[in-house]
């Protein structure tokens, strides 16, 4: 595969470099991005980043001509589909992806109002969850006595070990852990309970696992390995 890319050291350069060692598809020329397109023999593909104002004709001409159109986002895909019948979405990648640790704080009750089944689902799905408190179906960092003044260091140490605090509750007056987390710079994922949506939190629908899981999945970005693998799978399918 021949990759025709920008060479200015910005993100399009990186995108192209990640694919330059691909030996398969010798009859394919891939333009990263569409502004690099020119007529060439063999099969062609182009990456459509966004529709730059004033660049409409180059965008539309390339969309009409290439054999394989790839958009960076669904919004750009919709722009491409104005000029052709098919377009695939492949996001860029990152070197900075790391395993995330989610936290949950407090204690559960027999009423189930703390929504511990949501934490149980997180564990089953393979998310790393660490609790500060009692009764949670996940590893427990420490009992929930950290509001006692002499144990403040335990609470702060706990929050340093998590990337996001999850509020799974179905009913709350507060919750106080939300304030603790925000005070320590930890983002919070919360439903509309208590005062949760009075703050800048990542929202999901109360008690709904699918809604929470969608949020959680959206916190894990694609890597450059996935960028490359998605292209290999697409080109293999499209070109046989």
Residue 88 and residue 143 in one domain: no
Please report, for the domain that includes residue 112, its CATH number: 3.40.50.2000
Q: Are residues 42 and 148 in the same domain?
A: no
Give the tens place of pLDDT for each residue, 17-38: 999 999 999 999 999 999 999 9
- Between CA 117 and CA 138 the distance in angstroms is 11
What pLDDT score does 150 carry?
Answer: 52
How much is the pLDDT for 148? 58
Would you give the DSSP letter of residue 167?
-
How many CB atoms lie under 10 A from the CB of residue 52? 12
Q: What is the pLDDT of residues 52-91, one digit of tens each?
A: 999 999 999 999 999 999 999 999 999 999 999 999 999 9
Check whether residue 213 and residue 227 sit in a common domain. no
- Residues 178, 127, single domain; the answer is yes
C-beta separation of 20 from 4 below 8 A: no
What is the distance between the alpha carbons of residues 55 and 60, in angstroms, rounded to a whole number? 9
What percent of the chain stands above pLDDT 70? 97
143 and 65 co-located in one domain: no
- Using a cut of 0.75, tell me whether the model's pTM lies above it: yes
**70 with 128, same domain?**
no
2 bridge partner residues: 29
Averaged pLDDT of the chain:
94
Of 181, 208, 49, the closest CA to residue 115 belongs to 208
**Is the domain of 196 the same as that of 231?**
no
SS3 (DSSP) at 212: helix
- 178 and 134 belong to one structural domain: yes
Lookup: tokens for 112: 């189930």
Tally of domains within the chain = 2
pLDDT tens profile 107-132: 999 999 999 999 999 999 999 999 99
Q: 110 and 35 share a domain?
A: no
What 200-205 contacts at long range (C-beta under 8 Å, 24+ apart), as own/partner pairs, is 201/167, 202/164
What is the pLDDT at residue 152? 73
Asked if residue 187 and residue 130 are part of one domain, the reply reads yes
Whether pLDDT at 151 is above 80: no
The residue whose two tokens read 């208590």 is: 194
* Predicted local confidence at residue 74, as pLDDT: 97
Instruction: Tell me if residue 140 falls in helix, strand or coil.
Output: strand
Q: Is pLDDT at 149 greater than 70 in this prediction?
A: no
> Is the model's pLDDT at 143 over the cut of 90?
no
Same domain, 176 and 77: no
Report how far residue 114's alpha carbon sits from residue 171's, in angstroms, rounded to the nearest whole number. 7
**Would you say 191 and 179 are in contact if contact means Cβ atoms under 8 Å apart?**
no
154 alpha-carbon distance from chain centroid? 30
Distance (Å, rounded) from C-alpha 219 to C-alpha 94?
A: 13
State the pLDDT confidence band at 153, using cuts at 50, 70 and 90: confident
Query: Domain range spanning residue 128?
Result: 101-217
| Cis preceding linkage at 46, omega within 30 | no
User: What kind and span of H or E run contains 234?
Assistant: helix 224-239
- pLDDT band of 40, cuts 50, 70, 90: very high
Claim to verify: residue 19 and residue 83 sit in the same structural domain = yes
Confidence of residue 16 (pLDDT cuts 50, 70, 90): very high
């Amino acid at each position: 595969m021949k990759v025709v890319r920008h060479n200015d050291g910005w993100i399009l350069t990186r995108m192209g470099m990640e694919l330059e060692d691909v030996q398969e598809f010798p009859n394919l020329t891939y333009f990263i991005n569409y502004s690099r397109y020119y007529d060439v023999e063999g099969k062609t593909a182009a990456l459509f980043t966004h529709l730059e104002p004033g660049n409409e004709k180059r965008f539309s001409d390339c969309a009409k001509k290439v054999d394989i159109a790839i958009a960076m986002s669904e919004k750009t895909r919709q722009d491409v589909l104005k000029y052709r019948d098919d377009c695939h979405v492949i996001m860029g990648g990152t070197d900075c992806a790391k395993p995330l640790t989610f936290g949950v704080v407090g204690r559960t009750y027999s009423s189930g109002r703390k929504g511990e089944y949501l934490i149980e689902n997180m564990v089953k799905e393979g998310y790393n969850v660490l609790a500060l408190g009692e009764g949670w179906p996940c590893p427990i960092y420490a009992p929930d006595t950290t509001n006692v003044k002499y144990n403040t260091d335990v609470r702060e140490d706990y929050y340093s070990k998590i990337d996001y605090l999850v509020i799974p509750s179905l009913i709350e007056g507060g919750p106080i852990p939300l304030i603790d987390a925000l005070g320590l710079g930890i983002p919070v994922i919360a439903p509309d309970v208590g005062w949760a949506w009075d703050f800048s939190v990542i929202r999901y629908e109360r008690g709904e696992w699918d809604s929470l899981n969608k949020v959680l999945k959206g916190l894990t970005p694609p890597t450059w390995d996935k960028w490359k693998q998605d292209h290999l799978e697409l080109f293999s399918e499209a070109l046989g």
